[in-house]
Structure 1
Amino acid sequence: MNPVLILLPGMDGTGELFGPFIAALGGEFEVRVVRYPGNHCGGYEGLEEIARAAIPDDRPYVLLGESFSGPIAISIAASAPGQLRGMVLCCTFARNPRPGLVALKPFVGAMPFKALPAGWLVAKQIRAAFVLALDQVTAKALRARMRAVLAIDVCDRLAHCDVPILYLRATRDRLVPRAAASLIAKIKPATKVAEIDAPHFLLQMAPMPAAQEVAAFMRISERR
């Protein structure tokens, strides 16, 4: 039986931006998209509860944590509920990827996240979809999620993950540095790191090569 692919979204939490990647998978696998409420301000623990609710009781599955959701995928995988077969981490981190920004934590509440020009954050090809996704999330929720990123450290949980790990790294990622992937590979040396020519929004900007890597990983996971 093919494993179910459970997609955990980036900071917007809507899951709307997974469209190109899901299309590139071509229907080979069942895909479930986790969606976080746009007004949820509870941080990582509360969002992890929502993600766990999508885990099937009677089927094998693979977790994919994109960007913001990487720590959620890691935390779930550490306890390996159900029939977890593997974990994909995409442009993400096990702890705050930009420790130099911790000093800004007291000022996050004043940051105008939704007022920032979309062109600063995403390529024009996905700008409209990004704006639509962001419109579904409150500024308060975005600030709460940024605070969560600045404080997160799940390295100890990563060390307890006993399933295969695939890390998708965007070679032109300006948000999550190479060091984030290196740390994960250091903690779990068996991690396969696949480098793809893309910016941070890898699944949206390079959906086909990303889908090829994930599909191959899932086929191997199916035989576990």
Structure 2
Amino acid sequence: MSERPLLLYLPGLDGTGKLFYRQEIHLAPYCDVVALSIPIDDLGDWQSLVVRVRELLPADRRPVLLCGESFGGCLALMSALAYPEAFDALVLVNPATAWRRQNWLVQGSHWLSLLPTVSLQVAALVFLPFLSAVNRLTPADRRTLLATVRLVPRETILHRLQLLEQCNLDADLERLTLPVLLLGGRMDRLLPSLSETHFLEERLPNAQREVLPHSGHAALLDSDLNLADYLLRHGLLPQPAEAG
């Protein structure tokens, strides 16, 4: 049985898993990485998404870290609640669990349903500064982020925003006893990630919290952010074996 850990990444609202490339190179010395990719036309409910996560679990019983970003943070919590023995640790990066408590965002998502597809594509450009700390992204990464967001159909975006409105896990958090690392971007202009990670830290029995001082919402695209460093610091990844 392989003891090399597996990090299972659950993406944000785009669902593609394509925006994790910056972190994969940093993680490669320490673990294998698998990213969930949700079809862009998928209109399934939370339960069907949890099943997709379960299907990615390895056949061998090796350590599995479940890492969820934004929308994926909600899915990570639901997956860990559904299969508590399947995961060894949980990492939540700017989790979107606060979405339903942000009335202006909920109302704004309802207005989006009235926009034609072309206007929604333009809106993606307007909202780019809310999705990331733009100065922390290389020009190539900014283009990739915008292209990926524009790839997702209007109906899918609206459906996933509705899922976020339905996500209320507050009463279940105390059941999650596995180690949880919470990463909140101080410069997140889309969601109150600092206060939300503090909220979760107080309710999860075995949680630790780190502030990402310069990161926006799409923190894992930051050119200077190394997720592996945080995981090593908190003992969630083993040091690589010395060669020789």
Measure the CA separation in 1 of the matches of 2:151 and 2:231: 28
Q: Tell me which of 128, 136, 161 is aligned to 2:143.
A: 128
RMSD: 2.2
- Which whole-Å deviations, capped at 9, do the CAs of 1:146-188 have from their partners, x for residues lacking one? 1111221122332211200000111111112022112211211
Measure the CA separation in 2 of the matches of 1:182 and 1:82: 25
Measure the CA separation in 2 of the matches of 1:104 and 1:203: 25
Query: Which structure carries more relative contact order (alpha carbon 8 Å, separation 6+)?
Result: 1
Q: Indicate the residue corresponding to 1:41 in structure 2.
A: 43
2:10–2:35 Cα contact (<8 Å) kept: yes
Classify 1:3/1:67 alpha carbon distance in 2 versus 1 (closer, same or farther; 3 Å): same
Q: Tell me which of 173, 183, 205 is aligned to 2:222.
A: 205
Is there any run of 5+ residues in structure 2 with no aligned partner, and where? 239-244
1:70–1:89 Cα contact (<8 Å) kept: yes
Is there any run of 5+ residues in structure 1 with no aligned partner, and where? none
Q: Tell me which of 112, 118, 125 is aligned to 2:125.
A: 118
| Counterpart check, 1:67 vs 2:70 | yes
Count of matched residue pairs: 220
Classify 1:17/1:79 alpha carbon distance in 2 versus 1 (closer, same or farther; 3 Å): same
- Which whole-Å deviations, capped at 9, do the CAs of 1:109-135 have from their partners, x for residues lacking one? 224443214253242622211133224
Q: Indicate the residue corresponding to 1:174 in structure 2.
A: 189
Measure the CA separation in 1 of the matches of 2:45 and 2:224: 28
Q: Indicate the residue corresponding to 2:97 in structure 1.
A: 94
Classify 1:21/1:5 alpha carbon distance in 2 versus 1 (closer, same or farther; 3 Å): same
1:43–1:144 Cα contact (<8 Å) kept: no
1:71–1:94 Cα contact (<8 Å) kept: yes
Q: Indicate the residue corresponding to 2:17 in structure 1.
A: 15
Greater Rg over alpha carbons, structure: 2
Question: Offset of 1:206 from its aligned partner?
Answer: 4.9
2:181–2:209 Cα contact (<8 Å) kept: yes
| Counterpart check, 1:219 vs 2:234 | no
| Counterpart check, 1:77 vs 2:80 | yes
Identity %: 23
TM-score (norm 1): 0.87
Measure the CA separation in 1 of the matches of 2:122 and 2:159: 16
Classify 1:204/1:55 alpha carbon distance in 2 versus 1 (closer, same or farther; 3 Å): same
| Structure 2 counterpart of 1:54, one-letter code | L
1:108–1:147 Cα contact (<8 Å) kept: no
Q: Detail structure 1 runs of 4+ shifted over 6 Å in the superposition.
A: none
- Which whole-Å deviations, capped at 9, do the CAs of 1:87-130 have from their partners, x for residues lacking one? 00001143535431334554342244432142532426222111
| Counterpart check, 1:163 vs 2:182 | no
Q: Indicate the residue corresponding to 1:2 in structure 2.
A: 4
| Structure 2 counterpart of 1:107, one-letter code | W
Classify 1:189/1:97 alpha carbon distance in 2 versus 1 (closer, same or farther; 3 Å): farther
